Amino acid sequence: MVEQARAKLKAAELEAAIMRRIADHPDCSGVGYVNVKPTGNEPPQETWTHMLIARRPNTPRSPLETKVLHDLLNKMRQEFDLVPE
């Protein structure tokens, strides 16, 4: 099986793409911001990880939100590579 090439995004572009996907999931309505950092790995290894997930203070975190968010981030790691600024 041939692995499909991942799109290459800068940190701000990747963070915006993550937030767009999060907006599609009502279970993640408490997430206000996600920050990514490089892993130092080269493709095909994962080139980024999430460093910070900022939450809205008036929205409690649920176990479902945590699962959905981590599933979403893991899927996006397979779709996108982080490129240096």
pLDDT at site 2? 53
Q: Which residues of the chain have pLDDT under 50?
A: 1
Cβ atoms of 39 and 47 closer than 8 Å: yes
Q: Which two tokens stand for residue 44?
A: 């095909």
Contact 16, 33 (CB under 8 A): no
Going by C-alpha positions, the residue among 8, 22, 4 that lies closest to residue 83 is 8
What's the pLDDT at 3?
A: 60
Q: Which residues lie across from 55 on neighbouring strands?
A: 31
